[in-house]
Structure 1
Amino acid sequence: MEDTTETDSLTDALQAISVSTDLIEEELKPHLDTLLDALLEKKKDVAVEISKSGILPILAQVLKNKSSLSCQVALVVAEMAREAAVRSLCIEAGLVKVLVPYLDSGDQEMLLNAGRAIGRICFDNTHQQDQLVDAGVIPRLVSIMKKYPENDPLVNVCVLALCNLADMDVLKLQFVECGIPEVLSEMIRGLQGGSDPHTLCSIKVASNLTVSLLLGDESMQKCFGEGSGIVYQDVVSWLQSSNTQLHLSGALAIANFARNDSNCVKMVELGVVPHILTMLEQHIHEGDVSVLHAGLSALRNLAIPATNKARMLDDGVAERMKALLQSDMAPVQFKLLGMLRMVLDGQEEAAKVLGTDATVLSRVTEWCSVKDHVGVRGEANRLLAALIRYGRSPEVVQAVAQADGMRHLISMSKSEHVIMQNEALVALAIASEIDFAESMKNMVMEADLLTVLKRILEDPTGTMEVKLSALSLIGSLATSSVMKKELEDVNMKGSLVDLMDHSSSKLALQAGAILSLLGDTS
């Protein structure tokens, strides 16, 4: 009976508003109260019923007239617009257009209601968002955030509205030029230390928006400010906070700043690496995969410039991140292996240290044959090859062989991926030249590697780089008395003789040198 009464009162209110011509405020207010009560009770289809009753143009007129009921009407519209089904009707009635001027209001409640209404109506509507930008909404939202920083609900409404607009790439620079990242940084500084769900949610939204603004190259550079920008400095402080969300956003932001070499060099000079390492160590045992993944991505990006590698190793990257080898999370394993390979590039001493560490080699060779994650398997094999390529020492070769790593490299030399195949061939050539053991001969024969090498030399579509690497390996094998007969048995000489006529003088010369080693002077 009560439901019927409430339904009747809603119907009466809608009828009364729809026939109202003079828009007398005293008469409209109780009917608006009825609408609001029904919406706040979140009864099914109430918003749709209101939107289809024909009163939306009347509500738009009330807002246009700037009456004392405007704040209440804006609240009604905001509550209605929670329902996706009514948003297009709100737009057709012109509600967005009449709500936008209220973003200049001095009444914080009015700002809150208008902001919520606009944000909800225009959510996921690119055309409407374009119109909001044209209407100058961005500086208005920034102004509200600067004017009322203590009003958390109002600031959150502005941030959420900006998040919707930030998806439009062309606006990222405009956001930065309006000072939005600095406002967000200040907002986060004020919220840090709080642990209630509302505060944590605000931190998440604000820090996510900051990261999204860094996806644009120009906006990212402005925020970086050669390492002295307030936003960059705040991001570094996020890494040192106790908030997991800020750790994640901080790492993602550093990875974005590290999209060009000059920024990478500057950040390493300014000492960001130890902060990332300390932050990652806090999550090793908690196992927060998102933070670990983001932090390792940032380290990998930072390690790309050649000048950064030695400094990062001095900062303890390889030594401190060894603990992550115990992780059983594939995304973390994948990023860790890629990062270590990048930082070891050309670093002989570091490669020798890691390449003779039995614990490291045991874990890496275990991942070389992991079945359920092809990315981890690939990166583990590539790191193994890199340890030999960069370490270039008998100790590393022996340690890798002892860890059963040669078997994996021989298997990798058959890879369909040219880069991986080439890396394996180079590593095997170095290993064979440094220390060719009897056990390696057995593996070479069991894997039918000589046939693979012969096929590479004879492949008319093969790359020059892979052919040269295959020749290097054949040359290393040819210096071993135990392998000469095996090379003869597969008629490697025939393939080498054919290369003597190759258009590449480099290939022809190398083939001739190997033929000499094999005792063929034809």
Structure 2
Amino acid sequence: MCIFTEELTASLEKLRVASENPSPEPLDELINYIHQQEDSTTVCEELVAGGVLPLIAGSINSSSVEAQGKGAELVAELAKVESCRLGCVTSGLVPILVEKMSSTTTGVALQACRALGNICYEHDGGRVSVMESGGAAQLLHLLQRAASLPNTPDDHQLRLVATGFLLNLLNSYDTVQDQSMEAELVDVLCQYLDKFAEDEDIPTHVLLSLTCMADTEVGRGLVVSRDITPQLVRVLKINESAEVTETCLELVTNLAETECVKTQLAVGGVCEAVVEVVRRHRNNPASDLSPPIIKTATDLIVLILVGDESMGIIYGDGSGSVYQELVGWLTSDLEDLQIAGALAMGNFARSDAHCIKMVESGIADKLLKVLSSHNSGEGDIRLQHAILSALRNLSIARQNKPVLVQQGALEVLLPMATAIQTFPVVFKLLATLRMIIDGQTEAAVKVGSNNEVVERLVVWCGTMDHPGVQGESSRLLAWTIKNCGENTDVITALINAGCVPPLVLMLGSEHAVMVNEAALALVLVFSSVVDPEVVEKTKLPQVATYVLNNPNLPPEIVANVLSMLTAIAGKDTGIECLKKDELKTAIDALTAHANEQVKTLSTALKEKL
């Protein structure tokens, strides 16, 4: 039941009496009454329940421009209350308000926009009604017209309200249902960013509206094809509002998920503009938003560098301004910048040509120096992970490996093997060590001679908590054996530390490359003096049988597995453990293999068994 105050009842009665000849006064009284309330929710609900909406509709439809404006303004106030929005739709106000958006009187168009924007706020029913009433087309026309109006306070407010209405209309709504209209809309929004880039609120509305469009397949295609890079760069360069900057960065990040956009952004100078944003907020923090802005900005640059073409553009043959700035971030006192710098170096190091030039210019040395301060259990995990990713990529190029060793990579990395417990970091660490020791005998001997490291590797070979760490530990053991120059002391130490069982398990891997690595390492192991008990404690015959029965393995790998078994069979003490019926059958089947090397090895092995 509605309980009206005397003043409210009087104003509502005036509105009823004036319904045949609408006047703005009773509408204005109701608006003022709502404004005077600390919490206007109840009053608005009572007005709607008391039948005010049909009366307002009459005022908006009247010939009085003042009544039209005040009627629309009253709807805007009522629609601020969530429970009143549906009534605004069911009472037929939406088509009337849509029509009034075309009014040449700025005040009427503005209040109609306000009312519709509020009706649509977090209200799908309102959005649907606006779309069905042709509101999207009317709003587009209004935005086009308002863009060319003078920069008076009223015209500025109209642009602000119209862009706000657009945002509420697009938010969570799939499409404006007309692709040609959406294309026009993108053009208009770009025009707004060009003309009003320095404003605080209009760019925010426009950027968020573009984000809403980019969240739909059709809208994203239109935004991407239009290439709004120049407008985004302009906003980032000249708008000093932290809120606008953050919103712009978030839109660019959204768009940069599309591969071709990464190239657009790199060519269009977005990275340069983002670097300037970082510099601005680092040197003169504008607000509490500065740290998250720096984080979003640095993440965005790293995302753009994920693209091969965009990465090459930014690298600029090692002399690109953004590249040079990112190198400088490695020694920044801000961790977010250090991490972003390291991640960026890892992306730049995706090509051998870049890797070689980067190491020659001292990038690996810089990374190692930073990591040396973070190579304990107390080091920053994100920074450790980022630097190790970069070092791994830099160490892939063959000619970089001895340089990294000379620069003290092992002295920095090996202590981490016994200090770090975080598996994602351990995974990167093991992969980096594996790359560095490839072809580097002294480095491999150094790894294999470090008892603490080897013990930790053997433990990790058995972990079930991180398959990646389990696999990389086994691979590092295999690569250490392969690259240690057949150093008997190292191989013996590895055997005594328990490396044989993990290598046997690795032999049964589903990945052919790991099968091959394990076979080659075991050839070297079994060519040395091996206690038969070491073999007997593994499931080598069963694993070898499984591998040899795999029809999908390349013949070169099968040959290496046979060579490994031959190495064991060459030992009087080792041959007995191979005399298993299933293994003999598998070897016998290979004597008819099409590959000559497999046939020869299997035939010789069959005779020994």
Question: TM-score normalized by structure 2?
Answer: 0.73
CA distance in 1, matches of 2:202, 2:550: 71
1:229 corresponds to: 320
Listed as ranges, the matches of 1:22-101 within 5 Å are 22-27=103-108, 45=122, 49=126, 52=129, 59-66=139-146, 67=149, 68=152, 69-80=154-165, 81=167, 84-85=171-172, 88-89=175-176, 96-101=186-191
Once the two structures are overlaid, the 10-residue window that deviates more, 217-226 or 114-123, is 114-123
2:402 corresponds to: 310
Are the equivalent residues in 2 in contact too, given 1:78–1:113 (CA < 8 A)?
no
Once the two structures are overlaid, the 10-residue window that deviates more, 507-516 or 416-425, is 507-516
CA distance in 1, matches of 2:518, 2:224: 54
Are the equivalent residues in 1 in contact too, given 2:367–2:387 (CA < 8 A)?
yes
1:138 corresponds to: 229
Aligned pair partner of 1:371 in 457, 464, 470 = 464
CA distance in 2, matches of 1:97, 1:448: 68
Aligned pair partner of 1:414 in 504, 508, 513 = 508
Q: SS of the counterpart of 1:190?
A: helix
Unaligned segments of structure 2, at least 5 residues: 1-38, 48-72, 80-92
Aligned pair partner of 2:433 in 336, 340, 344 = 340
Unaligned segments of structure 1, at least 5 residues: none
1:2 aligns with 2:40: yes
Deviation at 1:185, TM superposition (A): 1.9
Letter in 2 for 1:65: R
Once the two structures are overlaid, the 10-residue window that deviates more, 366-375 or 194-203, is 194-203
Percent of residue pairs bearing the same amino acid type: 29
CA distance in 2, matches of 1:461, 1:133: 44
Q: SS of the counterpart of 2:476?
A: helix
1:384 to 1:113, Cα distance in 2 relative to 1, 3 A: closer
Are the equivalent residues in 2 in contact too, given 1:501–1:508 (CA < 8 A)?
yes
Are the equivalent residues in 2 in contact too, given 1:454–1:495 (CA < 8 A)?
yes
Are the equivalent residues in 1 in contact too, given 2:368–2:409 (CA < 8 A)?
yes
1:70 to 1:289, Cα distance in 2 relative to 1, 3 A: farther
Once the two structures are overlaid, the 10-residue window that deviates more, 187-196 or 197-206, is 187-196
Are the equivalent residues in 2 in contact too, given 1:78–1:117 (CA < 8 A)?
no
CA distance in 2, matches of 1:122, 1:498: 63
CA distance in 1, matches of 2:511, 2:366: 36
1:454 to 1:124, Cα distance in 2 relative to 1, 3 A: closer
CA distance in 1, matches of 2:583, 2:548: 9
1:347 to 1:63, Cα distance in 2 relative to 1, 3 A: same
Q: SS of the counterpart of 2:573?
A: helix
Letter in 2 for 1:466: I
1:366 to 1:24, Cα distance in 2 relative to 1, 3 A: same
Are the equivalent residues in 2 in contact too, given 1:425–1:470 (CA < 8 A)?
yes
Letter in 2 for 1:399: A
Deviation at 1:276, TM superposition (A): 2.5
Q: SS of the counterpart of 1:346?
A: coil
Are the equivalent residues in 1 in contact too, given 2:76–2:111 (CA < 8 A)?
no
Q: SS of the counterpart of 1:430?
A: helix
1:402 aligns with 2:530: no
Deviation at 1:127, TM superposition (A): 2.5
Letter in 2 for 1:386: W
2:338 corresponds to: 247
CA distance in 2, matches of 1:34, 1:484: 89
1:484 to 1:48, Cα distance in 2 relative to 1, 3 A: closer
Aligned pair partner of 1:191 in 278, 281, 303 = 281
Listed as ranges, the matches of 1:328-477 within 5 Å are 328-391=421-484, 392-434=486-528, 436-438=529-531, 441-450=532-541, 452-453=543-544, 462-477=553-568
2:36 corresponds to: none
2:258 corresponds to: 168
Are the equivalent residues in 1 in contact too, given 2:110–2:161 (CA < 8 A)?
no
CA distance in 2, matches of 1:134, 1:502: 56
Deviation at 1:52, TM superposition (A): 4.0
Question: TM-score normalized by structure 1?
Answer: 0.84
1:501 to 1:185, Cα distance in 2 relative to 1, 3 A: same
Are the equivalent residues in 2 in contact too, given 1:74–1:113 (CA < 8 A)?
no
1:405 to 1:62, Cα distance in 2 relative to 1, 3 A: same
Deviation at 1:320, TM superposition (A): 0.7
Listed as ranges, the matches of 1:110-129 within 5 Å are 112-113=203-204, 115-116=206-207, 118-129=209-220
Deviation at 1:380, TM superposition (A): 1.0
Once the two structures are overlaid, the 10-residue window that deviates more, 395-404 or 11-20, is 11-20
- Report 1 or 2 for greater relative contact order, CA contacts < 8 Å, sequence distance ≥ 6: 1
2:270 corresponds to: 180
1:217 aligns with 2:308: yes
Deviation at 1:221, TM superposition (A): 0.9
* Deviation by residue 1:14-39 (Cα, 9 ceiling, x = unmatched): 86855646431245556767788x69
Aligned pair partner of 2:348 in 257, 282, 299 = 257
CA distance in 1, matches of 2:107, 2:603: 103
CA distance in 2, matches of 1:237, 1:246: 9
Deviation at 1:468, TM superposition (A): 2.1
Are the equivalent residues in 2 in contact too, given 1:345–1:386 (CA < 8 A)?
yes
Deviation at 1:279, TM superposition (A): 3.7
Aligned pair partner of 2:364 in 258, 263, 273 = 273
Are the equivalent residues in 2 in contact too, given 1:79–1:117 (CA < 8 A)?
no
Once the two structures are overlaid, the 10-residue window that deviates more, 212-221 or 195-204, is 195-204
Deviation at 1:187, TM superposition (A): 2.1
Are the equivalent residues in 2 in contact too, given 1:103–1:114 (CA < 8 A)?
no
CA distance in 2, matches of 1:103, 1:446: 72
Q: How many residues align?
A: 510
1:166 to 1:490, Cα distance in 2 relative to 1, 3 A: closer
Deviation at 1:58, TM superposition (A): 5.0
Are the equivalent residues in 2 in contact too, given 1:74–1:99 (CA < 8 A)?
no
CA distance in 2, matches of 1:451, 1:175: 55
Deviation at 1:351, TM superposition (A): 0.6
Listed as ranges, the matches of 1:141-156 within 5 Å are 141-146=232-237, 148=238, 150-156=240-246
Are the equivalent residues in 2 in contact too, given 1:345–1:390 (CA < 8 A)?
yes
Q: Which has the larger radius of gyration?
A: 2
Deviation at 1:184, TM superposition (A): 1.6
2:572 corresponds to: 481
* Deviation by residue 1:491-513 (Cα, 9 ceiling, x = unmatched): 98897787666543434554576
CA distance in 1, matches of 2:546, 2:215: 55
Letter in 2 for 1:175: L
